Amino acid sequence: MINDTTLGYLILILPFLTFAINGLFLGNKNAKAAAGLAVTFNGLAFASAAMVAFHYFTSVVAPQKVVLFDHSFIPFAGELVARIGMLIDPLSVMMLVVVTFISFMVNIYSIGYMREDRAMGRFFALLSLFSFSMLGLVVATNLFQMFIFWELVGVSSYLLIGFWYHKPSAVSASKQAFILTRFADSFFLLGIVLVSYVVGSFDFTTINSLTMFPFRNETIDMGICVMSKSSALILGSILIFTGGWGKSAMFPMHIWLPNAMEGPTPVSSIIHSATMVVAGVYLVARLFPFFAVCGDSLTLIMWVGAFTMVFAAVIACTQKDIKRILAYSTLSQLGYMMFALGACKIGQAIITTGWTASTFHIFTHAFFKCSLFLIAGSLIHQVHTNDLDAMGGLRKKMPLTYACALISIFAISGIPPFSGFFSKDEIILAAFQGQHYAVFALALLTSGLTTFYMFRLFFLAFHGEPRHEGVKAGHVHEDFFMTLPVVILAIPALLSGILGKGLFEHFFTPGKLHVPTMLKLAHAEWIPFVAIGVAVLALLIAWFLYASPKAKIQRALDDTNRCGIYKIIYHKFYFDEMYYTVVRQFIFGGVARVSRAFNDYVIEGLLAFSIWFIHKLGDLVRTAQAGYLPFYLGTLIVGVLIWRFFGQLPL
Amino acid sequence: MDILLFNLIWVIPLLTVLVCIPIPASHAKLLRGLHTASASAVLLMVCYLAYRVFMLSGTPASDAASPLVLRFLTDIPWLTMFNAHYIVGADGLNILLLALTAFIVWGGVLVSYNIKGNQKVFFALIQLLATSVYGVYMSFDLVLFFVFYEMEALCMYLMIACYGSGRRDYGGKKLTLTLAFGSSMILATLFGLYFESGANSWNLIEIAKTTIPMEFQMWAFPLMFMGFAVSSSLFPFHFWSPDGHSAAPTAVSMLAAGVMMKMGAYGCLRVAMFLMPEAAKVWLPYVVALLIFNVVLGPFIALRHKDLKYITAYSSISHLGLIFLGLAAMTPVGLRGASLQMISHGFLTGLFFATIGMIYERTHTRDITEMGGIMRKMPFLGVGFVIAGFAGLGLPGFSGFIAESNIFIGAFQQESTLTRIVTILAILSITTTAVYILQTANRMLHGPLPQKYEGLTDGCFREKLVIVVLVACLLFIGVCPGPFADLLDQSIAPIFAKISAATQPVTSGIGG
Amino acid sequence: MNLLNCLVLAFLLFGIGVWGLMRRRHLIGMLISIELMLNAANINFISFAYFTAHDATAGALFSIFVIAVTACEMAIALAIIVTMYRRHKSLDADQLRDLHD
Amino acid sequence: MFDFNIPGFIVPDILLLIFPFIVIGSRLFCSAQSKVPWRIANIGFIAIFVLLNLIPIATGEGRFFITNWRVDDFGVLMREVLMVSAILGIWFAKDYFEHGADGKPQMHQIAEFIGAIAFATFGGFTVVSACDMLTLFLGLEIATIPMYALTAWNKKDQLGSEAATKYILMGSVATAFELFGFSYLYGFAGSLHFSEIQAAVATGTSPLLWVAVLFLFCGIGFKLTLFPFYTWAPDVYEGAPTPVTAVLSVTSKATAIAFLAVLVFGPLQPVIDKINPLIALLAGTTLFVGNLGALKQSRLRRFMAYSSIAQAGYIMVALLGPEATAKTAIIYYLFVYAVSNYLAFFIFGIIGHHREETFASLRGLSKQDVNLAIALAISMFSLAGIPPLAGFFGKFHLFFCGAANGHYMLVAFAVLNNVLALFYYIQLIKSAWVDEPDGHLTPLRLTKRQRGVIILLSVMVVILGFLPFLSNNVFAGFNF
């Protein structure tokens, strides 16, 4: 019986070893070995994670924090020490299990999906690099460690999106993803520096146990203005949230996520739905007591989340690329989680139900969204296109996939008893209890939209007549490696809600808060029924439009003679175009051009002028040297006079 | 024994040159072998000595009274005409810089195996350059320091103008003359230090014991600091570096950007700030304003360039700006960050220029718009370049991140308003760095492969070795920075002690 | 007759020499003006020796030496001018324009 | 009766005095082509150099031969510098008596040539050992008059005669200035002897003194090519035969700076503070103008003229320092300067043998004869004052003197000018190293002697800089 610390090390080391061995030695030459290694090690990692979870939840210490190990990485001034450690508490354990499990599944899946790819070894190496950095992120004991792995996650995402680097679209998408998140991270870093400067520590425990009082009177010079340290902390919290803002692709930094679908589908399923993108949510959840103290930032978080939720859901209703639809639905779900965290604020007080709900939704969402992506992947693998036009009628050909898809879609639509129902219901309830009725309404509306577009996808993909020659000709089959994970994932997609609910309500609390906590909460048993009602309604609409006998599929699919509003939504409110104009015109055209002009003309010009001036002086000297003897003799006489008057002799 | 080895560091390259004189230039293989051997020998020696210094850390120095804790201290009367001594010694800072130099020189020798022209002269010049750089980092006597510091001008011009590419004469002249301009400013103040300090000695340690009159410091410090900053391409004296680097052959770019540009920053720290802390306290908060160009605008300029070497040159300009940010912070963390950045950027830019040189050898162009998709043809070099890029944009796991985080945290502890603003801007501009590095990498390595590059081959063993070693260094510092931090802290502690002991003069008037 | 007058005389002589030097374009004329300047110095020596100096012989001696030295100088000067004339067929100072930047 | 026991320390001077007569006399007994005078010259000069080195170190005042012939350590070392210059000069000149160069016809009458050089050198001896104004004046004239003759050595070359005319006319005007200055100084002190003048100056000053100083500085400013009296130098350097240019640029400069040193640290010692501003101004302006003039030259000798003007400016800086340091610095610098300068001239001579002496003829030198190119680079960098070459330490020593009395501004200015200097020296290196060789340039051939001398000089330039304690030990024993 190995102890938990060893297990903890194992969890981190196994994926890293996979990365190192695959990257350095196995490589692309013997891809089979690479794949086998990756699957085995990630499986072992999952096993140890599960064991750690089991030990933890069955032990007496359960809700408290446990630090398995904590090594000093690099000491800064005094208390300010960057450490690399492993923090165990309900949240991180949950994330550990989820990440290891998902990456295990996806590794299996990739064996099938990447079979034809010649760079398979590289793929598995990068995948393990990602899971290593993600695990390091979730077990971080301090901000600095979190930032380190935060960046590593970002870079591995960059490398995986651009995995097919001969596809220009993939390359540019990866670049965009990295730069946007990097942009957010720069604020994150600034926030870390600022907070650590004020607080004098990176440690989560220290930061989470802050109270504002000691900082009220001290001031800090922020360059532009002088502010009190307490407001500096609030600024810092917002800056830190900005990191999560970018990583979780909240509006308006959302555009990289849909474009990131250029990457291989397994990548999308693990990085861009289940794990990495929830890092932002995880960050806020991890620092919740701190955010609660800097209350105002919570409101911001709530609104950002809520808006993204609706915005993305609306766009998702019109897309035809299935991966993009799933991407937008991911955005929308992330919006749910984010605003649930924000919604915990009532006036000056805090309720914790939102926190629990959000973390719960992270948990459930991971499974069903991942499985949805994998299903999409196998569909694409069969019909070789992302486009709904080319699908349809796949129900007969891929029965297992069909069943699993149904489960996951019920889950995401919040139909009981599927997992999504419980977490989403909690979130909506939290919004209601937080007395944010506007957001509550939006949440209900969005759950309706979610159901609608998910079933739209479902009907168009599986029902109706086949619209693809390959499908018609019956070349479609279910690959074992690609179906197995889907089937396995369907189980938690179905059950994680019921089983998880008790666990979460028992263990999951944000920890000790230093603000008044509201205990007496409004009870509203009617909310679940309303939610279900909305969902069913949306389902019926979707069925009527896309699956009912008299549904006009062709008309549903062609984009011609659409009304303007539809076009706008279909083009994602022209956001990508806006981005490109801003970047091209402002950054490249504006700032960069001006600064280069300044360098090339002003600085170099001054240099050239000084050289020219010296040369002119030289010409002066040489023109005097005209070989004219009387002039030379004159210089002798003049010289005497010069030194007589300027020689400073006391004459 | 160690002392002897330590002194051999700068002697061996010189001996190599002397040994090679009788060998006719036609025996290129033999010459290359000799130079490679000597470079490797020096590398091994330096690494061993660095290890020794690390082991010795904590034990008191041979001379208890000296403000610096120096190992292997050697002090021989040298020029009695103006009582200059031959004083060399090692502490954490300069031993690490020596190690960096040894690595870069070794790499430089390896990458220039098939350089066009008279190889005998070229390698001799590289060794001379190495001598001068080693000497600068080792010496604690100002005359000796300056002699070595100025020596590089002699080699640089010839190497660039004769073996370079593009506007080589222009670039070489620009580089050499600008550096000479800087060192002339230094020389003018050196005499002042000798006579005004009252120590009547060129010994850095002796001068450090005295306090130099304020009215002298007030004009001497900016002169000297700027003089050193010229070779670290601090705005507005950065103009030499893009043209110089782009004209220079690979090895010279590596040496120039990797170690020579650090000599300036090292001088700023070791001589200017260490000897004239009072003036430093007055001036540095204003010097920071210049960094806005280096750190914030530098990356933007890199964005607009198409030539790989120009891009890298501007990235070096911005990275060196960070060094000065760390120096201007005048806090232990900041100074440590600056020193770390010197070392890390040395390896980083060495790797950059090495890969660029290798790619240029094959594609015969450095214009990124003409390249594309060469990752497919030369994956190893491509990966090397990408790694250099990631290290350059401060990715955790590489040394750059450690240095930058130190600098940012350290600079943020500096209270002055201007420094705060610049620090914030610097932190925010890590995005721009990412933009130009990714843009370059994508344009060059990714996308479709032009027809003319079908025949390209990946790096040979020699080149791969260089890349692997440099990457290993970057990773090593990045993954376990602890020992390096300890080593540097010992040598920075006395400098910081002197700075913090310096009392702010009552008249904070500039140019008093 | 006193020291001052002699000095003034000498100075005037010197001035005349300079004036001639500036005005003349004929090499021989220039040489003569130079002679004037030299002799102005001689007059100085003599007059100082006569009036003030406590080491009177030195001054006289000096002037004699000066005469001798200037003699050789002039000799060489004339020799050179002769060779010059052989080449240029002219003694005009303005003609000497072959050497210049 | 006469007493013939001559003290040993005077022997070299006497030898050098009678030496020209021997050489010229030897012409009477052998044919024009014979090598005898040349051999005698070598033996004689080297012998004198060795004898000088045998002179034991004197302390304090030095030794007096007759009341006005002093031989102190400064004198001895200056003598050595002058002898080095003379020896190198005749070695350099030898080729020009075997073939014409740079479009100038072959030179004749080597014996007389050597004699003239010997006289010029003896003039320098006289200057450094003078201790009254008369000796000083005579020394200066002895040093100068042969130079006039040497400049016009090529009777067939009209540029030479033009140069000589300019030189002698302006030179005699300068002489007139000096004499005028001397006369006033005499009038002020009432004596010619330095010790008495010094005493008089110490007791009090008068306008007479200052007028004298002014005229003396202007007069010597001509010989030392100070601003604005340098105008003759470029033309004369270009017009004169190359070996004469070389000798001019070293010997006459050495003599002139020795003259100033003797004057400033001798009779004018008490009022030196009052003169320093003038010296500083002269130094600053001269080195600036010299550097400016050299910027865009295309002909090598004219270029060297301007560079030597600038060097004169640098060497003036030393006069601002305390006496002992200043004299050490001057001698060390002159020595280094002589070596580097002659190295450059030797190379130019080889170039000029078949080509005209312009920058263009240097093109592609590194491709044709890399060793020659390296030697050129060494000499140029040394003149530019780049360590570890000798030139740097020379300059460093000069600036050290300047800074010792707190003339930081002047030192800073001089150091900045170094960058300017580096610029034009690099121009020359560029044409030798970077420019592609154009086909029609005739190939170069080195005789054994040339190769040997060039190697010797290059090694000296490097060694003097790299291991300066060699030179250091030379000076260690002496005290000025």
CB–CB contact C99 D238 (8 Å)? yes
- Quick one: what percent of chain B has pLDDT higher than 90? 73
Quick: pLDDT tens for B445-458: 888 888 888 888 88
Q: Which chains touch B (3 or more CB pairs under 8 A)?
A: A, D
Q: Which chains touch A (3 or more CB pairs under 8 A)?
A: B, C, D
Chains with ≥3 CB–CB distances under 8 Å to C: A, D
Work out the minimum CA distance from D204 to partner chain A, whole angstroms: 13
User: How far is the C-alpha of A122 from the C-alpha of A13, rounded, in Å?
Assistant: 18
Which of A460-469, A552-561, C49-58 has the lowest average pLDDT? A552-561
Chain D residues with at least one Cβ partner in B under 8 Å: 325, 328, 332, 366, 370, 374, 377, 381, 386-389, 392-393, 396-397, 399-400, 403-404, 406, 408, 411-412, 415-416, 418-419, 422-423, 426, 429-430, 433-434, 468-469, 471-472, 475-476
3-state DSSP of B217-254: HHHHHHHHHHHHHHHCCCCCCCCHHHHHHHHCCHHHHH
Q: What is the ipTM of this complex?
A: 0.92
Whether A183 and chain B come into contact, CB under 8 Å, resolves to yes
In whole angstroms, how far apart are CA A579 and each of A256, A384, B226, C101? 10, 30, 41, 63
pLDDT tens, position by position, B354-407: 999 999 999 888 898 888 888 888 889 999 999 999 999 999 999 999 999 999
Residue of C nearest to D196 (CA): C55
**Residues B238, B245: Cα–Cα separation, whole Å:** 12
Give residue B512's pLDDT band: very low, low, confident or very high (50, 70, 90).
very low
**pTM for this predicted structure:** 0.94
Tell me, yes or no, whether A586 lies in a domain. yes
- The residue extents of the domains of chain B are 2-500
- The pLDDT of residue D58: 65
* Token representation of residue D113: 């040539």
Please indicate if any CB of chain D lies within 8 Å of the CB of B195. Answer: yes
C99 falls within a domain? no
Chain-chain contact of A633 with C98 (C-beta, under 8 angstroms): no
- Confirm or reject contact between D169 and chain C (CB < 8 A): yes
Domain presence at residue A607:
yes
C91 near D CB under 8 A? no
* Residue A637 belongs to some domain of the structure: yes
Question: B49 pLDDT band (50/70/90 cuts)?
Answer: very high
Q: Given B158, B191, B223, which is nearest D400 (Cβ)?
A: B191
Q: CB distance from B331 to chain A under 8 Å?
A: yes
Compute the nearest-CA separation of C25 from chain A (Å).
8
User: Per residue in D68-101, is it b (16+ CB within 10 Å) or e — as a string?
Assistant: bbbbbbbbbbbbbbbbbbbbbbbbbbbbbbeebb
Lowest mean pLDDT, pick from A33-42, B496-505, D146-155, D302-311? B496-505
How far does C24 lie from chain A, in Å, by closest CA? 9
Q: What is the pLDDT of residue B509?
A: 43
Q: Which of A622, A629, A634 sits opposite C101 (nearest CB)?
A: A622
Task: Supply the range of the domain harboring residue A622.
Answer: 575-646
Tell the residue number behind the tokens 């002194």, with chain if given: B7
DSSP state for residue D105 in the 8-state scheme: P
Q: State residue D475's pLDDT score.
A: 54
The pLDDT of residue D424 is: 94
Interchain CB distance below 8 Å, D214 and A614: no
Q: What percent of chain A has pLDDT over 70?
A: 99
In whole angstroms, give the CA distance from residue A9 to residue B22. Answer: 60
Least confident piece of the model among A22-36, A286-300, B452-466:
A22-36
Q: How confident is the model at residue B56 (pLDDT cuts 50, 70, 90)?
A: confident
**A619, closest residue in chain C (CA to CA):** C101
In a domain, C55, yes or no: yes
Provide the pLDDT for residue B78.
Answer: 85
Local confidence pLDDT in tens for the 101 residues of chain C: 789 999 999 999 999 999 999 998 899 999 999 999 999 999 999 999 999 888 888 899 999 999 999 999 999 999 999 988 888 888 888 888 888 88
CB contact under 8 A, D229 and A635: yes
Check whether D479 has a pLDDT greater than 60.
no
Q: Which residues of D touch A620 (CB under 8 A)?
A: 292
What is the mean predicted confidence (pLDDT) over A440-447? Answer: 94
Nearest CB among A186, A224, A588 relative to B303 is that of A588
Q: Which residues of A624-640 are buried (b: 16+ CB within 10 A; e: fewer)?
A: bbebbbbebbbbbbebb
* Residue A379 in tokens: 């569909």
Which of D173, D318, D277 has its CA nearest to residue A643? D277
Within a domain: C56 = yes
Which is higher by pLDDT, A384 or D187?
D187
CA distance B113 to chain D (A): 20
Contact (Cβ atoms closer than 8 angstroms) between residue D206 and residue C67: no
| A179–B417 CB contact, under 8 Å | no
Mean pLDDT of A257-280: 92
The pLDDT of residue D471 is: 55
Domain hosting C29: range is 3-92
User: Residue B322's closest CA among B425, B391, B240?
Assistant: B425
Among the partner-chain residues A623, A627, A634, the one whose CB lies closest to the CB of C97 is: A627
CATH number for the domain harbouring residue C27? 1.10.287.3510
* Residue A51 burial class via C-beta count within 10 angstroms: exposed 0-12, middle 13-18, buried 19 and up: middle
> Where does the pLDDT of residue B504 fall: very low under 50, low under 70, confident under 90, or very high at 90 and above?
low
Instruction: Name the average pLDDT for chain D.
Output: 90
> Rounded to a whole number, what is the distance in Å from the CA of C63 to chain A's nearest CA?
23
Pure H helices in D355-434: 365-368, 370-384, 390-404, 408-433
For residue A30, the model assigns a pLDDT of 82
Q: Is it the case that residue D480 has pLDDT exceeding 80?
A: no
| A612 CA: distance to closest CA in chain D (Å) | 12
Q: Is the pLDDT of residue B472 over 70?
A: yes
- Distance in angstroms between the alpha carbons of the first and the last residue of chain A: 104
CB pair distance less than 8 Å for A618 and D292? yes
Q: Which helix (H) or strand (E) holds A207?
A: helix A204-208
CB atoms under 10 Å from CB of D42, counted, come to 16
Closest alpha carbon within chain A to C30? A630
Give the dihedral sign, CA B126/B128/B129/B130. Answer: positive
Average pLDDT, whole number, for chain A? 90
| List of chain D residues whose C-beta atoms are within 8 Å of the C-beta of residue A638 | 228
The total number of structural domains in chain C stands at 1
pLDDT at D4: 58
Each residue's pLDDT tens digit, B299-324: 999 999 999 999 999 999 999 999 99
Percentage with pLDDT > 70 across chain D: 95
